[in-house]
Amino acid sequence: MKHIEASEIEKMEKIFRLNLINSCTGYKSANLIATKSKSGNPNVAVFSSITHMGSDPAMLGFVTRPLNVSRNTYKNIRETSYFTVNHIHEKMIEQAHHTAAKYDEDISEFYKTGLNEEYLDDFHAPYVKQSEVKLGCKYLNEYHIKENDTLLVVAAIEHIYFDEGIQMPDGWLRLDDAGTVAINGLDGYSLPSLLDRFHYARPNQEVKSFFSKEKN
């Protein structure tokens, strides 16, 4: 097994180090954050840092890179408080990846990538029409991470949209049925397949599967 120490990481060529560190932590969520500026210009960008922050109240968070260059997504969220999170579907990965290109603030990535805006229930920010799972969110707070000058943005989940067919009776969403992909590193898109699902783990009790009769 290959072994790399911190001193070696520091000496690596920038892109090589970036690829290694972004992939060694495992698969990440693959989402598009869509916003609309105060002047009405829509924006959409790929994010792999969105994570669950709590279910009661329902919250999520994401990390935005240092603000020493223009960050249109962050700027729009701070100006309007609203944004949407849209799962990247297996059939839209090229369009989604293209949103990472650095277009000027007045140029909409929707227009450049062929993704379509969708407005639902009078929500300020657009959703991505091609997405199978969409969340409408409202900014709550942010926390500066001084070690690398990034920001953790925390938001409330106010709306959830998905096809009823992917929801199990206990509320759980089966994301492989929705074609939701995951990100490997910065630029690798993978389609996860469900291996199993287990009941709540308790001390000194056998692990029980939802799907495998042999384990029940």
Contact 155, 33 (CB under 8 A): no
Q: Helix (H, G, I), strand (E, B), or coil: what is residue 13?
A: coil
Average of pLDDT values for 91-108? 89
Quote the pLDDT of residue 70.
62
- Tell the CATH topology of 25-190: Pnp Oxidase; Chain A (2.30.110)
Whole-model pTM? Answer: 0.92
Single out the residue of 82, 97, 177, 83 nearest to residue 132, CA to CA: 177
Q: What is the pLDDT of residues 136-168, one digit of tens each?
A: 999 999 999 999 999 999 999 999 999 999 999
Per-residue pLDDT at 216 exceeds 80: no
Kindly indicate the confidence band of residue 68, based on its pLDDT and cuts at 50, 70 and 90: low
- Domains of the chain, by residue range, sit at 25-190
- pLDDT higher than 70, residue 112: yes
